[in-house]
């Protein structure tokens, strides 16, 4: 189970989070609840949780200070900020502290569920990655005969901290790992269900193809898999110039890539490591190969990278996002914004610098957050900001950035449309958005729109054909019916509160008046029908 720590100085919210939320649905359990940042810090030290939910404003140590502490000492802990303060300074600090998400109070239940679903999915992916590494290590431990591939796998998984023990084993077994180069391959799309089912067989086939290709071109390869990546370690023979070996490795790597594509119908990216001259340098060669592979994979580029691991640059010119894009977004013009963003995407692709892409996207998200704040739009792209470097491909990053731009344009467009909506339509829309507030009444709406009660009453009847109380009651009952159908686990009292009734008994009376059945009778009819 994923461990969760909650830190908030509001007892009612803590009680709601601990008693009303089905944490097991996300494979989570609450291991501690703190009333302030200092208590939260001690709970984090004690439990090392997978998820920390913390308020911003708290005595002793605030939530942003706590998240900064967690980032430094427990980087694996995922932080969710809870705050009633929709201010850009808080969000900007949260971005720097790499929190996973930022939720506004009062909490919207559906948004909270969506966020927890994303958090749970992220934890599952991380666990799967760790599991693959554990499997690789376990296979190595269970091996009764230590081979060259076993030594190298252990070195690449654990780093140079294993060198003292490996030196002894290499000497005892007589292995020669003096000089060579590392090449790493990875599939572009390894998520095919059929391929996943046959992963061991598929990996065996890839290893055979690459081994035969490198060996046929007079290289001396050691080939094995670490997770989803196939590693080829080429040993150089003495007496041949390093430059000639590098040329031979480049030729073999290119042909190996073509053979995997031809025989297995699979596109791959690859990265070259630096030439190592001793066992102490092999891990460094592997790291540079992985970095080069990540660059190739990011662009889904099938061209062969240069031997120093970089992708040939097509353009190396100054570039900045035009202010016109932000003006278009502020106008709510979705089509023009998509077209302008497509132009930015094309230019970034031509430039081909991954870190530059991150820089430009970060700048854009900061601008978008300011626009969102101006238009009172909830900041729902914080995970994109903090998780930017987790995007394996340029395409997926720009796709999500495009969704963010589209969402913001639609929001602004709807707000502008609301501004020119007729007064009766605005009143109806206001009620539809605030019906769940138990304090909404004709008087509060009259104050909101600066109207007299009598004038508002006449406008409302002409617009809806019903008086205010009838309209709100019918609306609440219809929403209650939807909740019963979509979220059957909610109690009648929970549903009553969600649609604007503090008194569950009164809710039942109103429900029966408009439906002819009590809530329990209505639920029974639905269950029998199902």
Domain assignments of the chain as residue spans, ordered by start: 2-126, 143-299, 323-419, 423-529
**Of residues 273, 295, 277, 275, the one with CA closest to residue 286:** 273
**pLDDT for the residue numbered 354:** 87
**221: pLDDT strictly greater than 70:** yes
Average of per-residue pLDDT across 35-45:
92
User: 344 vs 187, which has greater pLDDT?
Assistant: 344
pLDDT tens column, 465-506: 889 999 999 999 999 999 998 888 889 999 999 999 999 899
Give the mean model confidence (pLDDT) for residues 450-468.
88
What average pLDDT does the structure give for the chain? 84
- Read off the pLDDT of residues 89-115 as tens digits, 9 standing for 90 and up: 666 666 666 677 777 788 888 888 888
The CATH number, out of the four listed (1.10.10.60, 3.40.50.720, 1.10.3720.10, 3.30.365.10), of the domain defined by the range 423-529: 1.10.10.60
Decide if pLDDT at 314 tops 50: no
Percentage of residues of the chain with pLDDT beyond 90: 36
pLDDT band at residue 315 using 50, 70 and 90 as cut-offs:
very low
Contact in structure between 295 and 271 (CB atoms under 8 Å): yes
Same CATH topology for 2-126 and 423-529: the answer is no
Cα 515 to Cα 521: distance, rounded to the nearest angstrom: 10
Q: H or E stretch including 229?
A: strand 229-235
Q: How confident is the model at residue 313 (pLDDT cuts 50, 70, 90)?
A: very low
- Confidence (pLDDT) at 142: 46
Task: Classify the C-alpha dihedral 35-36-37-42 as positive or negative.
Answer: negative
Task: Please state which of the four CATH numbers 1.20.1440.230, 3.30.9.10, 3.40.50.2300, 3.40.190.10 is assigned to the domain occupying 2-126.
Answer: 3.40.50.2300
- Going across the sheet that includes 78-83, the strands are 28-34, 2-7, 51-55, 78-83, 101-104
Residues 6 or more apart from 73 whose CB is under 8 A from it? 44
Looking at residue 191, its pLDDT comes to: 53
From the candidate CATH numbers 3.30.70.270, 3.20.20.450, 2.40.128.50, 3.40.50.300, the one assigned to the domain spanning 143-299: 3.30.70.270
Q: What is the pLDDT of residue 276?
A: 92
What band does 309 get if pLDDT is binned at 50, 70 and 90? Answer: very low
Among the ranges given (114-123, 196-205, 309-318, 427-436), the one the predictor scored with the smallest mean pLDDT:
309-318
DSSP label of 306? P
| pTM summary value | 0.55
378 SS3 class: coil
């Amino acid at each position: 189970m994923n461990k969760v720590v909650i830190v908030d100085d509001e007892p009612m919210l803590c009680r709601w989070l601990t008693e009303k939320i089905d944490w097991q649905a996300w494979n989570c359990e609450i291991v501690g609840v703190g009333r302030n940042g200092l208590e939260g810090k001690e709970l984090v030290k004690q439990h090392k949780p997978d998820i920390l939910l913390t308020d911003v404003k708290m005595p002793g140590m605030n939530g942003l200070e706590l998240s900064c502490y967690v980032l430094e000492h427990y980087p694996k802990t995922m932080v969710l900020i809870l705050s009633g303060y929709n201010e850009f300074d808080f969000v900007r600090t949260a971005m720097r502290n790499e929190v996973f998400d930022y939720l506004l109070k009062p909490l919207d239940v559906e948004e909270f569920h969506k966020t927890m679903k994303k958090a749970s999915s992220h934890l599952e992916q991380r666990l799967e990655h760790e599991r693959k590494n554990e499997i690789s290590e376990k296979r190595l431990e269970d091996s009764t005969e230590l081979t060259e591939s076993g030594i190298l796998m252990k070195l690449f998984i654990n780093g140079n901290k294993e060198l003292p023990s490996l030196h002894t084993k290499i000497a005892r077994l007589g292995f020669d790992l003096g000089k060579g180069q590392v090449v790493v391959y990875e599939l572009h799309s390894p998520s095919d269900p059929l391929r996943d089912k046959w992963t061991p067989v598929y990996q065996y086939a890839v290893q055979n193809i690459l081994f035969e290709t490198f060996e046929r071109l007079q290289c001396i390869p050691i080939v094995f898999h670490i997770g989803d990546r196939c590693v080829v370690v080429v040993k150089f023979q003495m007496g041949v110039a390093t430059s000639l070996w590098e040329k031979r490795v480049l030729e073999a790597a290119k042909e190996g890539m073509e053979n995997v594509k031809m025989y297995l119908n699979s596109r791959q990216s690859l990265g070259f490591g630096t030439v190592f001259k001793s066992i102490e340098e092999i891990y460094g060669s592997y790291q540079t190969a992985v970095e080069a592979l990540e660059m190739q994979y990011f662009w889904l580029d099938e061209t062969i990278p240069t031997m120093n691991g970089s992708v040939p640059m097509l353009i190396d010119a100054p570039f900045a996002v035009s202010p016109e894009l932000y003006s278009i977004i502020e106008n709510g013009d979705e089509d023009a914004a998509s077209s302008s963003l497509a132009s930015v995407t094309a230019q970034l692709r031509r430039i081909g610098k991954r870190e530059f892409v991150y820089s430009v996207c970060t700048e854009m998200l900061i601008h978008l957050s300011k626009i969102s704040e101006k238009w009172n739009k909830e900041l729902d792209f914080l995970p994109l900001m903090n998780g930017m470097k987790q995007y394996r491909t340029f395409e997926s990053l720009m796709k999500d950035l495009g969704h963010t731009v589209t969402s913001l344009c639609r929001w602004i467009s709807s707000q502008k449309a609301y501004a020119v909506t007729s007064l009766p339509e605005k009143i109806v829309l206001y009620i539809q958005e605030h019906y769940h507030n138990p304090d909404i009444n004709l008087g509060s709406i009259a104050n909101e729109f600066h109207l007299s009660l009598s004038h508002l009453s006449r406008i409302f009847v002409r617009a809806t054909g019903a008086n205010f109380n009838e309209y709100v009651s019918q609306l609440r009952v219809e929403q209650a019916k939807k909740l019963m159908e979509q979220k059957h686990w909610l109690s009648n009292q929970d549903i009553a509160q969600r649609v604007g009734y503090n008194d569950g008994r009164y809710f039942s009376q109103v429900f029966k008046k408009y439906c002819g059945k009590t809530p329990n009778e209505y639920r029974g009819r639905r269950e029998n029908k199902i």
